[in-house]
């Protein structure tokens, strides 16, 4: 599928040198030892460090993951298995958007656990935040954009007031407040070293409030279940249409979001592979020399689709 390992290797040092020349950046020493580079030579662990600090996050293509902590089918089933990489490796490989979904945590009256619906993923919110903080401390020019969702599922579902109380517990009592950027879309410079919080929970605080459709902050494509005889074909068309909409509206005042994931009766591995082969990779591969601000692009199993992940990073530097 797509550009295989042999094609990625064509770029090598020469590709990095060429990109360094185009961007006015050093042509050597970009990536730490052992870290990956994109076809244009960008180090995946620190690609944001080469962005203009004065541009808005709205002007970027930000690859990420869907249901970011769902690594183990034993914590649910294969139907809820969406990732093989953990958060540290996702960030190291260039993902900068995380989809974090929480319910209450049994036996811990102040804490939040990470869930897929009512399936606990055996990782807590503080674990995710600590992993992000460690990455940002080691890569202070990067940022993490995080959708934080009240999953409202199962016996650990929380109402609005209790979820807000627990968020404040994390921010104030556990000391995570300084890790976050809360209000309005920041510039790259203002976001560096921070988690940009996208609040997918009811709150009175004036945060960047998530929408799975449209609101003042977002224009989102997240069709995860479609009827008819060809649901994956229909999903592929929606993905392509959202890419086109983002490309044709470079000054749009909202963040585009384009989920490459699909459930709707398929294992995520199956739907992801079909969509990548038939819709996503052909679209991106035909436009490798075309800069685009596609916004946030969450996917399942980026380890299976490293070529797509890296092409999305490169969209910021064409």
Cα(274)–Cα(291) distance, integer angstroms:
25
Of the listed ranges 17-31, 145-159, 203-217, the least confidently predicted one is: 17-31
pLDDT at 25: 41
- Cα 172 → chain centroid: 26
CB contact at 8 A, 181 and 196: yes
End-to-end CA gap in the chain: 23
- Which of 169, 177, 264, 182 is CA-nearest to residue 217? 182
* Beta strand ranges found along the chain (DSSP E): 61-65, 97-105, 108-116, 119-124, 144-150, 180-181, 195-200, 208-209, 218-221, 255-258, 295-299
Is pLDDT larger for residue 22 or for residue 93?
93
**Residue 276, SS3 per DSSP:** helix
Q: Could you report the per-residue pLDDT of 4-57, keeping only the tens digit for each?
A: 332 322 223 333 333 343 343 433 233 444 479 999 999 999 999 999 999 999
pLDDT at 26: 33
Pair type for strands 144-150 and 119-124: unpaired
pLDDT at 287: 96
Q: Which residues of 223-238 are buried (b: 16+ CB within 10 A; e: fewer)?
A: beebeeeebbebbbeb
**Residue 239, SS3 per DSSP:** helix
pLDDT at 2 over 70: no
Q: Mean pLDDT over residues 191-215, rounded?
A: 98
pTM of the model: 0.90
Looking at every residue in the chain, the average pLDDT score rounds to 90
Number of domains within the chain? 1
Q: How many CB atoms within 10 Å of residue 299?
A: 27
CB contact at 8 A, 95 and 66: no
Q: Could you report the per-residue pLDDT of 104-132, keeping only the tens digit for each?
A: 999 999 999 999 999 999 999 999 999 99
pLDDT at 170 over 90: yes
pLDDT at 97: 99
| Segments forming the whole domain that contains residue 303 | 5-314
CATH value at residue 164: 3.20.20.190
């Amino acid at each position: 599928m797509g550009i295989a390992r042999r094609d990625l290797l064509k770029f090598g040092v020469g590709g990095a040198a060429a990109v360094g020349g185009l961007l006015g950046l050093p042509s050597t020493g970009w990536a730490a030892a052992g870290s990956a580079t994109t076809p244009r030579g960008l180090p995946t662990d620190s690609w944001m460090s080469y962005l203009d600090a004065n541009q808005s996050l709205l002007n970027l293509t930000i690859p990420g993951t869907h249901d970011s902590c769902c690594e183990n089918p034993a914590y649910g089933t294969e139907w809820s298995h969406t990732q093989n990489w953990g958060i540290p490796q996702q960030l190291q490989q260039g993902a900068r958007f995380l989809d974090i979904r929480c319910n209450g945590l049994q036996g811990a009256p102040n804490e939040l656990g990470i869930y897929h619906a009512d399936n606990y993923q055996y990782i807590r919110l503080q674990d995710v935040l600590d992993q992000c903080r460690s990455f940002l401390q080691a890569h202070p020019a990067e940022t993490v954009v995080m959708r934080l969702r009240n999953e409202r599922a199962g016996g650990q579902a929380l109402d609005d007031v209790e979820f807000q109380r627990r968020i404040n517990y994390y921010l104030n009592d556990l000391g995570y407040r300084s890790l976050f950027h809360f209000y309005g879309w920041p510039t790259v410079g203002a976001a560096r070293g921070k988690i940009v919080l996208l609040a997918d929970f009811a709150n009175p605080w004036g945060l960047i409030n998530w929408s799975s459709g449209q609101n003042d902050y977002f224009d989102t494509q997240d069709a995860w279940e479609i009827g008819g005889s060809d649901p994956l074909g229909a999903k592929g068309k929606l993905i392509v249409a959202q890419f086109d909409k983002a490309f044709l509206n470079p000054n749009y005042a909202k963040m585009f979001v384009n989920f490459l994931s699909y459930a709707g009766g398929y294992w995520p591995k199956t739907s992801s592979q079909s969509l990548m082969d038939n819709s996503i990779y052909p679209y991106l591969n035909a436009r490798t020399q075309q800069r685009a601000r596609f916004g946030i692009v969450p996917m399942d199993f980026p380890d299976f689709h490293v070529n797509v992940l890296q092409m999305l990073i490169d969209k910021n530097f064409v």
